[in-house]
């Protein structure tokens, strides 16, 4: 039985010589290529050995996306969401759908820390707001389940972790793999986690940028595809072990198929229904890698657009008339293509950058073997 290739340094997909799609990337090939978007992580790794609930081992964290450099409550952005399969949670989506606006930072964590992270976002905004008499918040917090590797019931994510992720949020390159909310995640039975990518449209198609960030924690091995090649079939669990058989032995039932959270950002001037349409196209990128929206999967996607800045927020009279722009629906197709390509590559970057991880009870989830992938792809 062959193990994953941990001797080769972790590299992003393009550093392996693999190019997804036809469109060029932004400078960092990251969601932060959309001007003003920042990302921060808090990563929590502690302990080893048998699980002691409340003590560990701990393999978890939180990732925060700041949608622009200002106060998102005072200056909201148009946004929309899409659900491929609903066995998951993203708080705040009812208000996003009703108002068409994103009014908070976006956080991603593990399933059992959603409530605390939501409350921590509110507390952070409350302490720093210039509008205490008007302040209210319905934050957006998504989750995926990391309980195979992490003491998920120990509730190890704290307010301080969330605040640290906010305060460390920055533009430029984004840490990927076993970081932040992705620390304990599994993707196609390899180690998964956080991944990001971007695409820039040609000037004649608007020159807009689309950036994507994923927390990838889904999928069976045999479904994995890289640039169309059935990598999951070519590197089966008999070669690099997965976890489904072990989980079946431990729990007496088949393993679920996990979840994925996908956040899409663009600088195009989109209206809320156009953001919703863009979010839906993340499904295409997910499908190309091997996501099928399984019954046990939470596949939840949110898109926001920074192309209409200056929309009225909490301090503006409800009777004020706001002006905004939109691109023609006929011009949406290039954005759809960009979203699909960036989503596909973001998931693969999560797989390529994640490292082999040992969690509770000594359970091991192996990293995608990069040297093997290169040989199969001929790069």
Asked if residue 35 has pLDDT above 60, the reply is yes
Is residue 77 very low, low, confident or very high in pLDDT (cuts 50, 70, 90)? very high
Give catalytic status of residue 375 as yes or no. Answer: no
- In whole angstroms, give the CA distance from residue 254 to residue 239: 21
Q: Which residue has the higher pLDDT, 379 or 249?
A: 379
- In whole angstroms, give the CA distance from residue 318 to residue 232: 53
Letter string b/e over residues 201-210, b meaning 16 or more CB atoms within 10 A of that residue's CB: beeebbebbb
| CB neighbour class for 71 (10 Å; exposed up to 12, middle 13-18, buried from 19) | middle
Asked if residue 317 has pLDDT above 70, the reply is no
At a CB cut-off of 8 Å and minimum separation 6, what does 229 contact? 376, 377
**How much is the pLDDT for 67?**
98
Asked if residue 4 has pLDDT above 60, the reply is no
Candidate list 297, 317, 323, 375, residue with the active-site label = 297
Is residue 135 very low, low, confident or very high in pLDDT (cuts 50, 70, 90)? confident
| Domain boundaries along the sequence of the chain | 21-313+322-366
- In whole angstroms, give the CA distance from residue 296 to residue 242: 18
C-beta of residue 244 within 8 angstroms of C-beta of residue 224: no
- In whole angstroms, give the CA distance from residue 216 to residue 160: 24
β-pairing, 298-305 vs 258-266, is parallel
- In whole angstroms, give the CA distance from residue 284 to residue 106: 22
**How much is the pLDDT for 322?**
82
**How much is the pLDDT for 379?**
86
Is residue 130 very low, low, confident or very high in pLDDT (cuts 50, 70, 90)? low
**How much is the pLDDT for 321?**
79
Give catalytic status of residue 323 as yes or no. Answer: no
Q: What are phi and psi of 344, to 5 degrees?
A: -55, -50
Asked if residue 335 has pLDDT above 60, the reply is yes
- In whole angstroms, give the CA distance from residue 173 to residue 176: 9
- The CATH topology of domain 21-313+322-366 is 3.60.70
Rounded to an integer, the average pLDDT of 289-305 is 96
Cα 179 off chain centre by: 11
Q: What is the value of pTM for the model shown?
A: 0.96
Candidate list 5, 146, 267, 299, residue with the active-site label = 299
C-beta of residue 4 within 8 angstroms of C-beta of residue 179: no
Percent of the chain at pLDDT exceeding 90: 86
Q: Which residue has the higher pLDDT, 47 or 317?
A: 47
Taking Cα atoms as reference points, which of 201, 208, 125 lies closest to residue 166?
Answer: 125
**How much is the pLDDT for 314?**
59
Candidate list 203, 259, 267, 296, residue with the active-site label = 259
**How much is the pLDDT for 312?**
82
**How much is the pLDDT for 160?**
98
Asked if residue 179 has pLDDT above 90, the reply is yes
Rounded to an integer, the average pLDDT of 171-193 is 98
- In whole angstroms, give the CA distance from residue 112 to residue 105: 19
Q: What are phi and psi of 88, to 5 degrees?
A: -170, -175
**How much is the pLDDT for 247?**
78
Taking Cα atoms as reference points, which of 231, 225, 196 lies closest to residue 342?
Answer: 196
**How much is the pLDDT for 182?**
98
C-beta of residue 59 within 8 angstroms of C-beta of residue 49: no
Taking Cα atoms as reference points, which of 51, 110, 52, 360 lies closest to residue 258?
Answer: 110
> What are the tokens at 25?
């990337």
At a CB cut-off of 8 Å and minimum separation 6, what does 316 contact? none
β-pairing, 106-110 vs 140-144, is parallel
Asked if residue 3 has pLDDT above 60, the reply is no
Asked if residue 316 has pLDDT above 70, the reply is no
H/E segment holding residue 121:
helix 114-128
Give catalytic status of residue 42 as yes or no. Answer: no
At a CB cut-off of 8 Å and minimum separation 6, what does 69 contact? 36, 38
Percent of the chain at pLDDT exceeding 70: 94
- In whole angstroms, give the CA distance from residue 193 to residue 211: 17
Asked if residue 289 has pLDDT above 70, the reply is yes
The predicted-structure confidence for 362-378, as pLDDT tens digits, reads as follows 999 999 999 999 999 99
The predicted-structure confidence for 46-76, as pLDDT tens digits, reads as follows 999 999 999 999 999 999 999 999 999 889 9
Taking Cα atoms as reference points, which of 274, 256, 304, 263 lies closest to residue 141?
Answer: 263
Q: What is the mean pLDDT of the chain?
A: 94
Asked if residue 2 has pLDDT above 80, the reply is no
**How much is the pLDDT for 1?**
44
Rounded to an integer, the average pLDDT of 234-248 is 89
Rounded to an integer, the average pLDDT of 137-145 is 97
């Amino acid at each position: 039985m062959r193990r994953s290739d941990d001797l080769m340094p972790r590299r992003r997909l393009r550093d392996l010589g693999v190019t997804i799609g036809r469109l060029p990337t932004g400078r960092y090939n990251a969601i932060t290529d959309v001007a003003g978007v920042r990302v921060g992580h808090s990563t929590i790794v502690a302990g080893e050995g048998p699980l002691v609930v409340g003590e560990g081992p701990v393999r978890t964290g939180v990732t925060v996306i700041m949608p622009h450099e200002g106060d998102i409550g005072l200056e909201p952005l148009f946004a929309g969401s899409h659900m491929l399969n609903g066995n998951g949670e993203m708080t705040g989506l009812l208000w996003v759908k009703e108002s068409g606006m994103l009014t908070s930072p976006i956080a991603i964590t593990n399933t059992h820390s959603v409530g605390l992270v939501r409350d921590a976002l509110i507390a952070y905004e409350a302490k720093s707001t210039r509008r205490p008499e008007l302040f209210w918040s319905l934050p957006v917090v998504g989750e995926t389940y990391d309980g195979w590797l992490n003491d998920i019931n120990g509730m190890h994510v704290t307010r301080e972790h969330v605040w640290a992720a906010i305060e460390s949020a920055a533009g430029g390159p984004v840490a990927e793999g076993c970081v932040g909310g992705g620390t304990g995640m599994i993707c196609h039975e390899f180690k998964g986690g956080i991944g990001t990518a971007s695409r820039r449209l040609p000037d004649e198609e608007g020159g807009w940028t689309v950036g994507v960030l994923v927390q990838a924690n889904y999928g069976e091995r045999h479904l994995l595809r890289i640039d169309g090649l059935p990598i999951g079939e070519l590197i089966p669990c008999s070669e690099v072990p997965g976890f489904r058989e072990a989980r079946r032995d431990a729990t007496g039932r088949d393993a679920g198929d996990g979840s994925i959270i996908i956040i899409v950002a663009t600088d195009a001037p989109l209206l809320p229904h156009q953001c919703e349409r863009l979010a839906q196209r993340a499904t295409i990128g997910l499908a190309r890698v091997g996501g099928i929206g399984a019954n046990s999967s939470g596949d939840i996607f949110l898109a926001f657009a920074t192309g209409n800045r200056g929309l009225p927020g909490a301090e503006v009279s409800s009777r004020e008339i706001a002006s905004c722009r939109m691109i023609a629906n006929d011009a949406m197709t290039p954005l759809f293509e960009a979203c699909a390509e960036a989503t596909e590559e973001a998931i693969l970057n999560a797989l390529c950058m994640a490292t082999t991880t040992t969690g509770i009870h000594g359970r091991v989830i192996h990293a995608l073997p990069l040297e093997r992938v290169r040989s199969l792809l001929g790069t």
